[in-house]
Chain A
Amino acid sequence: MAVPSRIVAIDGDCATVEAFGVTRTCSLMLLAEEVAVGDYLILGAGGSFAAERVPEEAARAALDYLAAVLAGGQA
């Protein structure tokens, strides 16, 4: 499963992203498009590289679903 993470800061080719209250850094080097603070990203397995940008509506829907997974004890 993938957790959409919101960009809170960008420093060159690295971004600081946040999801479920946890921040981490990831590389933007593999992204096919420009991104900005506030955009949502899907990280590849392991979390080192951002894999793709996700539209905000899709990201919020996925985060709601994942919150239900967490609350339901599935995670």
Chain B
Amino acid sequence: MFPEPRIEVALTVSAGAVADVRLRSGRLTRAAALLAGRPAGEAVRLLPTVFALCGTAQTLAGLAAVEQAAGIAVAAPHRAARRLLLLAETVGEHALGMARDWPALLDEAPDLEAAKPLRAALARLRPALYPQGDWSRPGGGELRPDRSQLADAIAAAEGAVCRLLAAPPEAVVADPAALTAWARQGAAAPARLMGRVLAERLEDFGCGVFRPMPPGGPADLAGRLAADADGCYVAQPDSAGEVFETGPLARLSARPLAMALMAEHGNGLLARFAIRLMELKEALRDLAPLVHDLFDAPGHGTPPDATGTGLGLVEAARGLLAHRVELAEGRVARYQILAPTEWNFHPAGPLVAGLTGVPAADVRRRAALLVNALDPCVACAVAVEGDPPCMRCL
């Protein structure tokens, strides 16, 4: 039996508040090492299946690493196509989380009426770009963009998101007042979840010191990965002892909506859920203009004797994703992956900081809200000392 990776969060309550937060991770953070020995292209082709959650971002990070190691320059149309695929995945991860996971936090059924057409629309994008299915080839596959198909699929995705939110996303996140009005109206599950946060005065639940990931990652990232012989760094990363949070709030904290909500309520539940809505809106908005940057472009191959080291960084929906590869004679000599969950669910990261000291009342359910707002890439179970665990499928 292959063990299902998961994170367990154990809360110890004392004197009416959470006194201790312990994380136990069953994440297979060192498994990427077993890509060693494979030809570079074969290793990258495995990524979207083996690391299927955020599989596009995983593949793009792998491609960037391999291409840097092999000295391959990627043509502009391929870069635009990859950007489009990454944005589409961001739309899908946020929107499907809102359709599938947010209703569960309200004890409601998933919103399949919105989720299914969204998945169908997004699934049309890859074949409309790379009809031969070779989008994951280092240097780029055979790019043959079908603009009509792409425009139709993007329009369908926009329609599905509007149905999911029961409003256009740009109207929902226009400003704090619009967000509050939408939430209180409660016409859709995401609005009802935000409405519950407001009604229960949980806006600042989970606040802590805000340490956003620097753009492009920590300055010492490449060096720490290179020196990480035992895999301890990719399991519990830091930068000079500091643990950053990564993801939508770290990326978009300078947006007026984020600044307004954080000024009033800190980096608690309200700001975290709201900024995921904001990122959904922005990713959806940025899809259509990219179609104009797409042109036919030929495929590329990896030099059979490529030797070198590469670091690929991608801002995935859940945060910064880093792949590092060492190639020798065209084969992978070493492969490492550092995923955003290792930052956000670090013993000194934002989840633990946000839960330490919160009132004990209803803490298991509230902690599940914060877990979901931080959006780990595996299932996460929350348990309060003396309580049975509460499993949330995320």
Contact = CB atoms under 8 A, between A and B. Distances in A.
Contacts of A21: 1
B22 interface: no
B34 A68 contact: yes
Interface string B43-76: 0011011111101000000000000000000000
Looking at chain A, what size class is its interface with the partner chain?
A: 35 or more
Indicate the member of A2, A3, A46 with the most B CB atoms within 10 Å.
Answer: A46
Nearest to A2: B52
Nearest to B120: A32
Contact of A46 (B48, B115, B379): B379
Interface in B149-180: none
A44 B53 contact: yes
Contacts, number: 96
Given A45-B394, A72-B34, A75-B3, A4 B49 contact: yes
A69 B34 contact: yes
A45 B49 contact: no
B33 interface: yes
Contacts of B31: 1, 69, 74-75
B51 A74 contact: no
Interface string A44-72: 11111101101000110110011011101
Interface string B179-200: 0000000000000000000000
Helix, strand, loop or mixed for chain A's interface? loop
Interface in A13-68: 19-22, 29-33, 42, 44-49, 51-52, 54, 58-59, 61-62, 65-66, 68
A1 B123 contact: no
B49 A59 contact: yes
Contact of A20 (B1, B112, B376, B393): B1
Contacts of A31: 119
B120 to A, nearest CB: 4
A15 B24 CA distance: 31
A51 B50 contact: no
B28 A74 contact: yes
Interface of A: 1-4, 19-22, 29-33, 42, 44-49, 51-52, 54, 58-59, 61-62, 65-66, 68-70, 72, 74-75
8 contacts: A19-B2, A22-B1, A30-B115, A31-B119, A46-B394, A51-B52, A54-B49, A74-B34
Given A45-B378, A47-B379, 5 more contacts: A2-B53, A32-B119, A44-B53, A59-B49, A69-B31
